[in-house]
Amino acid sequence: MVIFLTIVHVLVCIFLIIVVLLQSGKAADLAGAFGGMGSQTAFGPRGSATLLSKATTVAAALFMITSLSLAILASRTSGAGSTVLERAKPGKPVPVQTQPVQPQTPPPVPMPQLGVKTVPAPAPAQAPAQKK
């Protein structure tokens, strides 16, 4: 049933694409290129429904019906309410040990002071070496 419905759905999709591409726009004439409308209606002149517009309506309805049917059949075969976790094989759970994250503080950066001259510190004096 699903295979038959999928084949019908694909054929309806292809037919719908072809029918939509074959239709001409509402303002396909020369006046439509410059914004002219043939009537004073709000959305332009509306002619009688052609064979292509009726075929588009039928194909769109069939497309919606086959889409809903395929969605319903897919949900029935997969099992209602099943999730990936419910379908997983039950096994021995592996305990995960975690440690709290210690915040890392950046090292202090000396800030230069404006307008203050810094004098290098004198080197520490070394004691004279003792002779034995």
pLDDT of residue 106: 78
pLDDT of residue 5: 94
- Within the chain, which residues score under 50 in pLDDT? 40
Residues 6+ apart with CB under 8 A from 53: 23
For residue 22, give the nearest of 64, 48, 50 by alpha carbon: 50
CA distance 92 to 83: 19
CA 49 to each of CA 5, 46, 55, 89: distance values in angstroms, whole numbers, following the listed order? 29, 9, 10, 58
Domain ranges of the chain: 1-23+53-78
The pTM for the full model equals: 0.48
pLDDT of residue 95: 72
